[in-house]
């Protein structure tokens, strides 16, 4: 998981300012900063050439260069790295020219305090990303590669292929919300992407995470399309998100940002248009606020505009646990397929959010032993098995796993490489790569996360005979019960938990069997087979509808 420090190069010759800025940055724990200080332009350029700089803080008056010239010389070398110019009151004209010429921001040293400095850095990094890197995220590249591979294996018509590579609609909004400190207003980026409008309304979660970007949301929307197609749900894929760290916000701040985001995308969503749901960093409460904001604008309650709501608002029994429960139904099928007895099997889980913690619970009910779990704060390892009740109690009290005393501490990287039978990545994308796939020591990778495994890693795992239960199958329990919730909402009819679980199991096992049969028949891997099942459903529908006009 990403918790890397932000690497700052500070080019400043005044020792008092050097100390002040370094002090402000090094005080921060989240995000963390690594600061390199040099006092001349020439040494700054040398240091920059040596690499590993995320952002430059640049004083324009240096012993070996002065004024706009300092900026231009740096900028010609560091075009894609954000530069924040440091100025004193009397040279703010030069700073303005620097911003015009391409600097991301400027800061008056006399007015600098920690929050002004952090915010300027954060915004400068965000703007750089928004300008140049939005679509080209690793997740989007992976979603593309997977799709193109499947398209090639199924010999998909080229016109259709081109149509499906990019989402049909993408909305990017920048939205303000008030912090609890009344005079502070933050402006953040929000997204909603709808991949394909052919199948009915679109469906997919809303993610709050500091790494959210257009490319990632688009990749996740695309995966939702294949997932819904594979499960034969009458939805296209969508995804949304806000680039924000929800753990840094108070409950009232979370409510305000959620309401404003909902208002910004209100024309895109609706029970017949696009139905949001929880994803990483969001939960039932966030869905309740979204539902309320939408309903306020329509003058009556519209519970079916979101799924994953609290039960008393029309949420479905079993929705909250559905992704973890569904993953374990499929682990059971896959284990049967490869002849792995679950009684006594060992399990390691990366991510202890809604998916990871529920998967832990249900897999243990089948007799397996959870020996390792992790979250952003730490990993935990106990070869004889972790006490899940005790762990949950700890996370309820402390929010994260850090500080749990009755297990050995390990890193997230170590967790992936632990000797176990089943490894469940249930956190972010891009965790199992060509770099570490060789070192995995499990018999099965069961993907609770979206996009945790790169294509190169897939290849290595296949050669090493490690069974991969792909994400579009593995985590589809969530959207499947979301579908049940939506159906119940449209009909004002409430099902029992038993009925929900029985139908969930039926849908997932059927999709597993179809994908497995295709994989064996066509001699392809299960991911490709599952994707093709989903893609075929969607392209079949596209071709029957024909092209407008």
Site for ligand GLU in 234-273 (CB under 6 A): none
Contact between 279 and ligand GLU by CB under 6 A: the answer reads yes
Report the residue from 44, 213, 478, 489 that binds ligand GLU according to the rule CB under 6 A.
478
The answer for residues whose C-beta is within 8 angstroms of residue 202's C-beta and 6 or more apart is 194, 195, 196, 221, 224, 235, 236, 237, 238, 273, 274, 275
Residue with tokens 């989903």: 534
What is Dmax (Cα atoms) for the chain? 75
CB of residue 479 vs ligand GLU: minimum separation in angstroms?
Answer: 4
- Tell whether residue 354 is a contact of ligand GLU (CB under 6 A): no
* Parallel, antiparallel or unpaired: strands 408-410 and 379-381: antiparallel
Q: How far apart are CA 290 and CA 267, in angstroms?
A: 13
Q: How far apart are CB 205 and ligand GLU at their closest, in Å?
A: 3
Contact 151, 161 (CB under 8 A): yes
User: Which CB atom, from 249 or from 277, has the smaller least distance to ligand GLU?
Assistant: 277
Q: CB-wise, 378 or 450, nearer to ligand GLU?
A: 450
* Shortest distance in whole angstroms from residue 419 CB to ligand GLU: 29
Among 233, 277, 305, 327, binds ligand GLU (CB under 6 A): 277
Using rule CB under 6 A, residue 474 touches ligand GLU: no
Distance CA 270, CA 395 (A): 34
Q: x/- string (CB under 6 A) for ligand GLU, residues 479-498?
A: x--x----------------
Q: How many residues does the chain have?
A: 549
Residue 318 vs 379, nearer CB to ligand GLU = 318
- Selected range binding ligand GLU among 72-80, 295-303, 471-479, 531-539, rule: CB under 6 A: 471-479
Q: Closest CB to ligand GLU among 223 and 362?
A: 223
Instruction: Output the smallest distance, CB 276 to ligand GLU, in A.
Output: 7
Structure tokens that stand for 505 in this block:
């199991």
Q: How far is the CB of 267 from ligand GLU (least distance, A)?
A: 19
- Whether a cis peptide bond, with omega within 30° of 0, leads into 31 is yes
Residue 291 C-alpha from the chain's centroid: 22
Residue 206 · residue 241 · CB < 8 Å:
yes
Q: How far is the CB of 282 from ligand GLU (least distance, A)?
A: 9
**Residue 453 — left, alpha, or beta (φ > 0 → left; ψ -120 to 50 → alpha)?**
beta
Q: Catalytic residue at 320? A: no
3-state secondary structure of 179: coil
Q: Is 450 in the site for ligand GLU (CB under 6 A)?
A: yes
Both tokens of 345, joined, read 């099997």
Cα(149)–Cα(395) distance, rounded to whole angstroms? Answer: 40
Which C-beta is closer to ligand GLU: that of 450 or that of 501?
450
Q: Is 204 in the site for ligand GLU (CB under 6 A)?
A: yes
By CB under 6 A, how many residues form the interface with ligand GLU? 12
Backbone angles phi, psi at 448, to 5 degrees: -90, -35
Shortest distance (Å) from residue 235 CB to ligand GLU = 8
Nearer to ligand GLU, 77 or 497 (CB): 497
Of the candidate spans 42-50, 261-269, 414-422, 475-483, the one that interacts with ligand GLU by CB under 6 A turns out to be 475-483
The residue among 133, 1, 143 whose CA lies nearest residue 451 is 143
Q: Write down the catalytic residue from 149, 239, 309, 320.
A: 239
CB atoms within 10 A of CB 522: 13
- Active site residue ranges: 239
Residue ranges that bind ligand GLU, judged by CB under 6 A: 203-205, 277, 279, 307-308, 450, 475, 478-479, 482
């Amino acid at each position: 998981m990403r918790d890397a420090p932000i690497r700052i190069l500070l080019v400043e010759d005044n020792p008092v300012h050097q100390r002040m800025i370094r002090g402000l940055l090094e005080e921060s724990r989240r995000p963390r900063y690594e600061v390199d200080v040099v006092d001349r332009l020439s040494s700054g350029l040398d240091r920059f050439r040596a690499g590993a700089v995320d952002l430059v803080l640049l004083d324009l008056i240096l012993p070996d260069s002065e004024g706009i010239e300092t900026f231009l010389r740096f900028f010609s070398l560091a075009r894609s790295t954000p530069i924040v110019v440091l100025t004193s009151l009397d040279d703010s004209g030069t700073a303005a020219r620097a911003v015009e010429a391409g600097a991301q921001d400027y800061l008056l040293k006399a007015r600098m305090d920690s929050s002004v400095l952090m915010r300027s850095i954060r915004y400068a990094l965000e703007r750089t990303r928004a300008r140049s890197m939005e679509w080209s995220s690793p997740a989007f590249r992976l979603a593309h590669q997977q799709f193109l591979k499947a398209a090639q294996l199924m010999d998909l018509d080229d016109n259709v292929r081109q149509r499906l590579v990019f989402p049909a609609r993408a909305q990017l909004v920048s939205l303000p919300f008030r912090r609890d400190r009344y005079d502070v207003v933050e402006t953040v980026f929000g997204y909603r992407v709808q991949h394909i409008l052919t199948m009915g309304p679109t469906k997919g979660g809303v993610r709050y995470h500091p790494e959210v970007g257009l490319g990632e949301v688009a990749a996740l929307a695309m995966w939702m399309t294949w997932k819904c197609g594979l499960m034969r749900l009458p939805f296209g894929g969508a995804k949304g998100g806000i680039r924000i760290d929800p753990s840094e916000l108070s409950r009232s701040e979370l409510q305000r940002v959620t309401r404003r985001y909902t208002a910004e995308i209100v024309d895109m969503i609706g029970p017949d248009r696009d139905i949001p749901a929880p994803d990483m960093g969001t939960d039932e409460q966030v869905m309740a606020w979204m539902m309320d904001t939408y309903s306020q604008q329509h003058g009556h309650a519209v519970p079916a505009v979101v799924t994953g709501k609290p039960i008393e608002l029309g949420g479905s029994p079993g929705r909250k646990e559905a992704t973890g429960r569904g993953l374990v139904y499929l682990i059971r099928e896959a284990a049967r397929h490869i002849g792995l007895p679950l009684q006594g099997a060992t399990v390691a889980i990366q991510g202890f959010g809604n998916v990871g913690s529920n998967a832990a619970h249900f897999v243990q009910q089948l007799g397996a032993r959870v020996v390792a779990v992790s979250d952003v704060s730490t990993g935990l390892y106990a070869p004889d098995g972790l006490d899940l009740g005790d762990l949950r109690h700890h996370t309820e009290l402390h929010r994260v796993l850090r500080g749990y005393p009755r297990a050995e501490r390990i890193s997230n990287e170590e967790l992936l490489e632990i000797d176990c039978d089943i490894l469940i990545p249930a956190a972010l994308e891009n965790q199992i790569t060509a770099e570490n796939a060789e070192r995995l020591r499990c018999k099965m990778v069961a993907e609770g996360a979206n996009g945790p495994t790169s294509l190169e890693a897939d290849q290595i795992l296949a050669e090493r005979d490690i069974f991969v239960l792909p994400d579009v199958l593995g985590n589809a329990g969530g959207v499947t019960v979301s579908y049940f919730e939506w159906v119940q909402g449209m009909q004002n009819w409430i099902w029992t938990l038993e009925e929900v679980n029985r139908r969930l199991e039926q849908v997932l096992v059927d999709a597993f069997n179809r994908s497995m049969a295709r994989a064996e028949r066509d001699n392809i891997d299960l991911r490709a087979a599952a994707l093709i099942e989903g893609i075929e459903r969607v392209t079949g529908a596209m071709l029957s509808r024909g092209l407008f006009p």
